[in-house]
Amino acid sequence: MNISLFKLLVPKNNIPAKSKPVKDLSEIDVVAQAMIFFLAGFDSVSTLMCFTTYELAANPDIQDRLRQEVMTTLDECGGKITYEGLLKMKYLDMVVSEVLRKWPSTLATDRLCLKPYTINPALPDEQPLHLEEGSILMIPIYGMHHDQEYFPNPDRFDPDRFNDENKDNIKPYTYFPFGLGPRNCIGSRFALLENKVLMFYILMYFEIVPVERSRIPVQLSKTSINLTAEGGFWFGLKRLKR
């Protein structure tokens, strides 16, 4: 991957000067924050839920294995799921982690360069990349998650990438669906919990099946800024016999 793709220069005079904290919020501030809440809290979680549903419908063997874990956990919790029981579900965590690798809710993230830095070339035909103070680095999450060097056969949905044996082999800073460091997503744990609870109850009562309008493999929309399916996600719920 050419490291020049990471750089987007912003003039230094665009960096906001240090000033005293603003105590009062204007209407624009309130509206802007509300919009961020909707985009970051609703759209990203719905994307994760939709692609989880898609992968379970497209991979019935994985869905069956996950349902077995759901039923086992339900028995261990006395017929009612608990927070502790949900956290112990290793395969559910593996499935959700792989969905976030293959279909990250955010295609890229950015960071501000606070001091000059030079990235030395990794390939013979590359030039050093000089980052100036005030540069904004665009980091392609989707590109990193689909890099053959870090995730072999990246288009294959394989939750076992995140099992106890393999997850420690994932190179640091190559998997970051919620960002990294002190500026990572503040709502990541809540988003994961929402998705896991929903999947738990769906698989407890239903089998997720393709229907006439389902598209497998999925066709990505070319008009959305984030990942979504062309024409939407369409799947059926088949009631389980219990």
pLDDT at 61 over 90: yes
With respect to CATH, is domain 3-10+28-170+182-239 assigned 1.10.630.10? Answer: yes
pLDDT at 206 over 90: yes
φ/ψ of 225, rounded to 5, equals -75, -25
Whether 203 and 66 have beta carbons less than 8 Å apart is answered as yes
Output DSSP code: residue 170: S
**CA 55, CA 217: separation in Å to the nearest integer?**
9
Give which of 150, 147, 157 is closest to 63, Cα–Cα: 157
> How does pLDDT run across 100-153, given as a tens digit for each residue?
999 998 899 988 999 999 999 989 999 999 999 999 999 999 999 999 999 999
- The reply, when asked if residue 185 is annotated as ligand binding, is yes
Beta strand pairing call for 117-119 and 108-112 = unpaired
Output DSSP code: residue 237: E
State the pLDDT at residue 23: 66
State the pLDDT at residue 225: 81
Give the type of residue at 133. Answer: E
Mean pLDDT estimate for the chain = 88
User: pLDDT grade, residue 21 (50/70/90)?
Assistant: low
Query: 185: Cβ–Cβ under 8 A, 6 or more apart, which residues?
Result: 40, 178, 179, 191
